[in-house]
């Protein structure tokens, strides 16, 4: 399937991005900048309409509110946290989601993450979440933590048969988080993603490093979404190899 790679300058005129940002206070650590959820809405989306899809990705990356907030939440209170959506500066990953929305004719998409920790560097993020869980004994930085199950169910609310798109990446250091997410999503319908061959629970991220790979991800994801009535995942022997690194010979 051929997909139009719409430039960010055009997308920002068509869509609005809103997010809930907060500081997580965990004993033994400095306050942690976090984001729990993002909604991307077309400028003509109906007020109160249910989500056309939910995307689950790694972490908030470089996403930030237009104006910083001082909303602080203690770890013990995260489960009772009420999301207040604020205007958000889009990042490159969110523009990629907008391209999917444009091609699918969607007006409203919700973004969740394996972890709420805001960190644009994936290696740094992995170190931080592991350290947090080991030293502080806390997993509440993730909406997939048992304590936040009610919040998760609310955020997974969407239109009938609307997909949950897994796109959290394929890194080895994500395994503890992906196991929790996969388990939590096991009973949901229409869970899709571009899976890495032979590695269950690992789904390619929307924003690989090379431009041609970004375009390939977009085309393959659109094909997958248009074919939801078919097999549960694209066969590993076909297009997914485009994302695999070439062997060194």
- Does the predicted model carry a pTM greater than 0.85? yes
- Where along the chain do its domains lie? 8-227
pLDDT of residue 230: 40
| pLDDT tens by residue, 107-150 | 999 999 999 999 988 888 989 999 888 877 889 999 999 999 99
From the list 60, 55, 51, 61, the residue with the least C-alpha distance to 204 is: 55
pLDDT of residue 1: 55
| pLDDT tens by residue, 69-88 | 888 999 888 888 988 999 99
| pLDDT tens by residue, 179-227 | 999 999 999 999 999 999 988 889 999 999 999 999 999 999 999 999 8
């Amino acid at each position: 399937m051929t997909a139009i790679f719409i430039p960010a300058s055009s997308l920002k005129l068509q869509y609005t991005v809103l997010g809930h940002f907060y500081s997580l206070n965990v004993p033994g650590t400095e306050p942690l900048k976090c984001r729990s959820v993002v909604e991307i809405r077309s400028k003509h989306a109906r007020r109160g309409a249910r989500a056309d899809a939910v995307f689950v990705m790694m972490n908030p990356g470089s996403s930030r509110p237009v104006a910083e907030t001082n909303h602080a939440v203690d770890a013990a209170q995260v489960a009772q946290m009420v999301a207040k959506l604020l205007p958000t500066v889009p990042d490159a990953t969110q523009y990629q989601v907008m391209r999917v929305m444009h091609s699918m004719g969607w007006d409203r998409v919700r973004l969740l993450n394996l972890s709420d920790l805001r960190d644009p560097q994936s290696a740094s993020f992995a170190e931080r979440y592991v350290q947090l869980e080991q030293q502080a004994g806390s997993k509440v930085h993730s909406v997939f933590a048992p304590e936040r199950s009610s919040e998760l169910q609310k955020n997974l609310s969407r239109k009938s048969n609307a997909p949950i798109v897994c796109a959290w990446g394929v890194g080895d250091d994500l395994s503890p988080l992906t196991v929790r997410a996969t388990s939590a999503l096991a009973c949901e319908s229409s869970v899709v993603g571009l899976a890495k061959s032979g590695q269950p629970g690992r789904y390619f991220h929307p924003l690989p490093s090379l431009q041609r790979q970004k375009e390939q991800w977009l085309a393959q994801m659109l094909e997958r979404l248009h074919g939801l009535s078919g097999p549960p995942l694209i066969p590993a022997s076909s297009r997914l190899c485009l994302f695999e690194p070439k062997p060194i010979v």
